Amino acid sequence: MTNDFEVEFIERGDRKARFLVRGASPAVANGIRRAMVADVPTFSIDTVRFVENSSVMFDEMIGLRLGLVPLTTPLDDFEVGDTVTLALDVQGPATAYSGDIESSDALVQPADENVPIVELKEDQHLEFEADAVLDTGKAHAKHQGGVSVGYRHLQRVEVVGDAGEFESQDPNILRGVIEEAAADYAADETAEDGDLVPTDAFDNDLTNRYPGKEVAVHDVPEAFVFHVETDGSFTVEELVLRAAGSLGDRAAELEEKVAV
């Protein structure tokens, strides 16, 4: 494995991104994924004190729903174990949404305003106070800011010849991102690395991309495509950077203990 990683974003948004990492072993790729899932803390409602709940749902059921409401998490301003008080007071007939939750700290707010909590009929009332605590996915899944984190090998596709004249082509399905080595498509035929193309650009079927051609597909060594989505607690960029920092800290701690 090389000492330096090469990172290239294929899609980049605040909550959803897809990027390529070159120079990483399978163990390192899995370490990055696990760190994004388990090591980066988020705020989540942990304790609820009901003032009144005359809805059709039990307190425990509403508490479970509240624990899954994503909250913005400015990690530079808080430490694991810190708490923030939240409150809600909604009178029916109305639907109580996450946007109705009020926070004692302007930095910690519902990441989405339209998450339904409960529908209240005439004369029904929901009022509570709650404590949101900052913790990691190791403690509970509700603290996982990375709601969808995965990776797969980058696959390289090369044209090796023409398909038989009377040969019918069966679908050749690939999902994710491919690296094209075909001269007909690559922007630079002499480049060591080919062009990166999301497979949904050709409905995930290589026969649409290479009609009448025979292709070879193989994994690119030490190259992985990550697909990451967050729940809005923070951006994808912050999730990835914090996860990488967590891995670095643990490696430094191990090195220090081994050296003693």
Q: Tell me the pLDDT tens digit for each residue of 212-251.
A: 888 889 999 999 999 999 999 999 999 999 998 888 888 7
Average pLDDT score over residue span 155-167: 80
Does 180 reside within a domain? yes
pLDDT (0 to 100) of residue 191: 46
- Segment 98-110 shows an average pLDDT of 96
| Containing structural domain, residue 100 | 43-139
Residue-level pLDDT at 63: 95
Whether the predicted pLDDT of 204 surpasses 80: yes
- 53 and 132 in a single domain? The answer is yes
Please provide the average confidence, as pLDDT, over all residues in the chain: 89
Spacing of C-alpha 76 from chain mean position:
20
Asked if residue 116 and residue 162 are part of one domain, the reply reads no
Helix (H) or strand (E) holding 221, with range, is strand 213-230
In this predicted structure, the answer to whether residue 1 has a pLDDT above a threshold of 70 is no
Half-sphere exposure of 191 (CA within 13 A, CB side): 14
Q: Please give the Cα distance from 24 to 224 (Å, whole number).
A: 8
Residue 244 lies inside a defined structural domain of this protein: no
Are 30 and 243 within 8 A, CB to CB?
Answer: no
For 66, other C-beta atoms within 10 Å of its C-beta total 23
19 and 58 share one domain: no
pLDDT over 70 percentage in the chain = 92
Instruction: Check pLDDT > 90 for residue 169.
Output: no
Mean pLDDT of 161-177: 78
Tokens of 4: 């330096």
